[in-house]
Structure 1
Amino acid sequence: MRKPVLTIFYQFNPWFPSIGGIQTVIRYFIKYAASEFNVRVVGTSDRANFSSRKWQEAELEGRAIQFFPLLTVENDDVRGLLPTTVKYTAALLQHDFASDFMHFHRIEPTLASLNWQGDKTLFIHNDIRQQMTAKDNKKAILWRYFPAGYFALEGLLIKQFAEILSCNTESVKLYQQRYANLSERIKYIKNPVDNGVFYPLSPEQREEGRRALAARMGKSVETRFLLFAGRLHPQKDPVLLVRSLFAMQQPNVHLLIAGAGELAEIVKAEIARLDLSQQVTLLGAVPPTELAKLQQVCSAFVLTSAYEGLPLVALEALACGTPVVTTDCGETPKLLSSGSGIVCQERTPEAIASAISQILSRDKNYTIEACVRAAAPYGVRQIVSDVYQNMWVRWEQRQLASGVSTSYV
Structure 2
Amino acid sequence: MRKPVLTIFYQFNPWQTSIGGIQTVIRSFVKYSPSEFEVRLVGTGDDSAQPIGVWQEAELAGKAIQFMPLFSIKDDNTRKLLPTSVKYTAALLQRCLASDFMHFHRLEPTLATRNWPGEKTLFVHNDIQKQIDAKGTKDAILWRRFPFAYLALERLVVGQFSQILSCNTDSLKYYQQRYPQIAERVSYIRNTVDTEIFYPLKGDEREQGRHSLAQQMGLAENTHFILFAGRLHAQKDPALLLDAIATLNQPDVHLLIAGDGDLREEIRLKISALGLSHQVTMLGPVDQAKLAKLLRICSVFVLTSAYEGLPVVVLEALACGTPIVTTRCGETPNLLSANSGVVCQERTPKAVADALLQVLQQPSHYPSEACIQAVEPYSARSVVGAIYKDMWSRWQQQNSLSSGQKSYTTVTEVAS
Give your verdict on TM over 0.5.
Answer: yes
Q: Which residue of 2 aligns with 1:45?
A: 45
Which deviations, in whole Å up to 9, do the C-alpha atoms of 1:86-142 show, x marking residues without a partner? 000011100100111110000110011000000100000001012123744221111
Q: Which residue of 1 aligns with 2:241?
A: 241
Letter in 2 for 1:399: N
Which deviations, in whole Å up to 9, do the C-alpha atoms of 1:330-358 show, x marking residues without a partner? 10000111111011121111110010011
In 1, the alpha carbon distance for the partners of 2:111 and 2:3 equals 27
Q: Name the SS for the 1:121 alignment partner.
A: strand
User: Aligned-pair distance for 1:17?
Assistant: 4.2
Q: Which residue of 2 aligns with 1:169?
A: 169
In 2, the alpha carbon distance for the partners of 1:208 and 1:76 equals 35
**In the alignment, is residue 76 of structure 1 matched against residue 76 of structure 2?**
yes
In 1, the alpha carbon distance for the partners of 2:153 and 2:340 equals 40
Q: Name the SS for the 1:140 alignment partner.
A: coil
User: What is the TM-score when the length of structure 2 is the normalising length?
Assistant: 0.95
Which deviations, in whole Å up to 9, do the C-alpha atoms of 1:288-344 show, x marking residues without a partner? 111111101111000011110000111111111111000100100001111110111
- After superposition, residues 8-47 of structure 1 pair within 5 angstroms as 8-47=8-47
RMSD over aligned Cα atoms: 1.3
Q: Which residue of 2 aligns with 1:195?
A: 195
Q: Which residue of 2 aligns with 1:315?
A: 315
Q: 1:134–1:143: structure 2 CA closer, same or farther, 3 Å change rule?
A: closer
Q: Which residue of 2 aligns with 1:5?
A: 5
User: Aligned-pair distance for 1:82?
Assistant: 1.0
Q: Which residue of 2 aligns with 1:210?
A: 210
- After superposition, residues 1-400 of structure 1 pair within 5 angstroms as 1-133=1-133, 135-400=135-400
Assess if the C-alpha contact under 8 Å between 1:137 and 1:306 holds in 2: no
In 1, the alpha carbon distance for the partners of 2:224 and 2:26 equals 33
User: Aligned-pair distance for 1:404?
Assistant: 7.3
Assess if the C-alpha contact under 8 Å between 2:225 and 2:300 holds in 1: yes
Q: 1:208–1:404: structure 2 CA closer, same or farther, 3 Å change rule?
A: farther
Assess if the C-alpha contact under 8 Å between 1:34 and 1:388 holds in 2: yes
In 2, the alpha carbon distance for the partners of 1:11 and 1:302 equals 27
Query: What number of residue pairs does the alignment pair up?
Result: 405
In 2, the alpha carbon distance for the partners of 1:138 and 1:369 equals 40
Spell out structure 1 runs of 4+ moving beyond 3 A: none
Assess if the C-alpha contact under 8 Å between 2:17 and 2:287 holds in 1: no
Assess if the C-alpha contact under 8 Å between 2:133 and 2:147 holds in 1: no
Unmatched tracts of structure 1, length 5 or more = none
Assess if the C-alpha contact under 8 Å between 2:136 and 2:144 holds in 1: no
Letter in 2 for 1:257: I
Assess if the C-alpha contact under 8 Å between 1:17 and 1:23 holds in 2: no
CA radius of gyration, larger in = 2
In 2, the alpha carbon distance for the partners of 1:258 and 1:138 equals 24
Q: Name the SS for the 1:316 alignment partner.
A: helix
Letter in 1 for 2:378: Y
Q: Name the SS for the 1:76 alignment partner.
A: coil
Which deviations, in whole Å up to 9, do the C-alpha atoms of 1:19-56 show, x marking residues without a partner? 00001100110111111110111110011152332111
In 2, the alpha carbon distance for the partners of 1:49 and 1:354 equals 52
Letter in 2 for 1:222: N
